[in-house]
């Protein structure tokens, strides 16, 4: 009996020693330290903010070595990734990108024979995958998301509109021009097949509604290939990816801008692990003319900036492309139909309407806290 008690105590002391040693090692004796770095750059026409946590490996000299450039190297690589995505794949402005080449093939103007004979264009497997996902969301949203409205978004040209508004002479497109641009839109008129896309002549694609979300997907894929990156939060404009964890185990905090109080936050999202967050609002790019707000999210039915009653939509889900596409689609659909769409994708949603009412999915209530 005595021996048994002593045995237990011995085991207890032994266990405590092991746990202490383990705690000591984790707190620094063997574990490489994790360094935090925050950087702010521009890419894809927006601001990119990165906070990366990178484990500093010890080199054979015993000193901490910044493997392949360390934290700075990692964030520079992320910027390189975004530049490539824009230049080689998604930009309609950069002549040699895949999207620009697709548009150039479809842009046959008044060529009647081409109008009768739709243009079949080869696409890369990556573009095929992107377009396939977009077409699904276009179908599920009843066309609220429609990336075939390239002619319409170029007609509105919000950047030029802002310049003209600055000079006191806002050039709102005429109703006939909008009608004519709308005739060249319609995702249901496009055929996607294995390795090709068939666009009616004159149609132009605009991937602005999903580009930053796709960027978040690519960033995440890169981070997964870097075991020394233990955590990250990267914002590409209104699209954000959280990855891994913070060294202290606390949740990621993602601020949601107040749509009507510039510089203020509506509230904070607290998230652990990997998530994709996207916000679409009418306060990012807009022009006020005679009391009307002309912004950059269009209703594919009317051809005018969407007036669904919402002024901000935030989506949280497990894909960057989906988060970005859904935030644009829900903005067009409005609160009721938007919530249904978000839920059908298993996404969390937070909407703000023009009188400041908040609409949230159940899961959003658990991760969102209002206020600064």
Question: With respect to ligand ADP, which residue has the nearer C-beta, 77 or 304?
Answer: 304
**Any contact of residue 208 with ligand ADP (CB under 6 A)?**
yes
Non-local (6+) Cβ contacts of 256 within 8 A are: 265, 266, 267, 268, 269, 279, 312, 314, 350, 368
Which residues partner with 52 through β-bridges? 37, 232
Instruction: Compute the distance between CA of residue 129 and CA of residue 109 in angstroms, rounded to an integer.
Output: 28
- Rule CB under 5 A: which of 152-211 touch Mg ion? 209
**Any contact of residue 321 with ligand ADP (CB under 6 A)?**
no
Residue from 90, 209, 342, 352 in contact with ligand ADP (CB under 6 A): 209
Residue from 204, 228, 328, 361 in contact with Mg ion (CB under 5 A): 328
**Any contact of residue 297 with ligand ADP (CB under 6 A)?**
yes
**Any contact of residue 326 with Mg ion (CB under 5 A)?**
no
Question: With respect to ligand ADP, which residue has the nearer C-beta, 34 or 233?
Answer: 233
Instruction: Compute the distance between CA of residue 342 and CA of residue 123 in angstroms, rounded to an integer.
Output: 29
Residue from 55, 212, 218, 275 in contact with ligand ADP (CB under 6 A): 212
Site string for ligand ADP, 153-172 (x = CB under 6 A): x-------------------
**Any contact of residue 324 with ligand ADP (CB under 6 A)?**
yes
Q: Residue 212 corresponds to which tokens in the numbers above?
A: 């930053």
Alpha-carbon distances of 198 from 10, 115, 118, 203, rounded to whole Å: 76, 12, 6, 10
Alpha carbons within 13 A on the beta-carbon side of 13: 5
**Any contact of residue 279 with Mg ion (CB under 5 A)?**
no
Q: Please, what is the minimum distance in Å from the beta carbon of residue 194 to Mg ion?
A: 27
Which residues partner with 38 through β-bridges? 51
Instruction: Compute the distance between CA of residue 52 and CA of residue 43 in angstroms, rounded to an integer.
Output: 17
Q: Which residues bind ligand ADP (CB under 6 A)?
A: 145-147, 149, 153, 206, 208-209, 212, 237-238, 280, 284, 296-298, 300, 324, 327-328, 332
């Amino acid at each position: 009996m005595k021996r048994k008690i002593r045995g237990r105590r011995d085991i207890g002391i032994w266990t405590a020693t092991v746990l202490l040693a383990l705690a000591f090692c984790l707190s620094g004796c063997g574990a490489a330290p994790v360094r935090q770095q925050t950087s702010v750059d521009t890419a894809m026409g927006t601001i990119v903010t990165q906070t990366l946590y990178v484990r500093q490996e010890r080199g054979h000299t015993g000193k901490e070595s910044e493997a392949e450039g360390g934290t700075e190297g990692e964030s520079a690589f992320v910027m390189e990734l975004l530049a490539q995505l824009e230049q080689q794949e998604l930009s309609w402005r950069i002549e040699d990108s895949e999207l620009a080449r697709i548009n150039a093939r479809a842009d046959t103007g008044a060529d009647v024979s081409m109008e009768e004979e739709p243009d079949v264009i080869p696409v890369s497997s990556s573009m095929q995958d992107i377009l396939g996902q977009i077409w699904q969301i276009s179908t599920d949203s009843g066309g609220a998301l429609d990336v075939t409205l390239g002619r319409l978004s170029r007609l509105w040209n919000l950047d030029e509109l802002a310049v003209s508004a600055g000079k006191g002479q806002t050039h709102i497109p005429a109703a006939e021009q909008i009608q004519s641009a709308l005739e060249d839109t319609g995702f249901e008129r496009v055929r996607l097949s294995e390795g090709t896309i068939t666009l009616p002549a004159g149609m132009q694609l605009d991937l602005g509604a999903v580009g930053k979300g796709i960027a978040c997907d690519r960033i995440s894929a890169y981070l997964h290939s870097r075991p020394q990156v233990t955590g990250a939060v990267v914002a590409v404009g209104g699209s954000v990816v959280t990855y891994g964890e913070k060294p202290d185990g606390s949740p990621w905090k993602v601020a949601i801008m107040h749509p009507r109080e510039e510089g203020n936050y509506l509230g904070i999202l607290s998230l652990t692990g990997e998530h994709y967050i996207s916000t679409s609002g009418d306060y990012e790019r807009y022009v006020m003319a005679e009391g009307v707000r002309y912004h950059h999210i269009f209703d594919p039915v009317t051809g005018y900036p969407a007036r669904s009653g919402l002024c901000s939509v935030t989506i949280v889900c497990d894909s960057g492309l989906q988060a970005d596409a859904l935030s644009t689609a829900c903005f067009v659909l409005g609160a009721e139909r938007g919530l249904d769409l978000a839920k059908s994708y298993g996404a969390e949603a937070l909407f703000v309407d023009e009188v400041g009412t908040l609409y949230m999915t159940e899961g959003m209530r658990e991760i969102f806290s209002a206020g600064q």
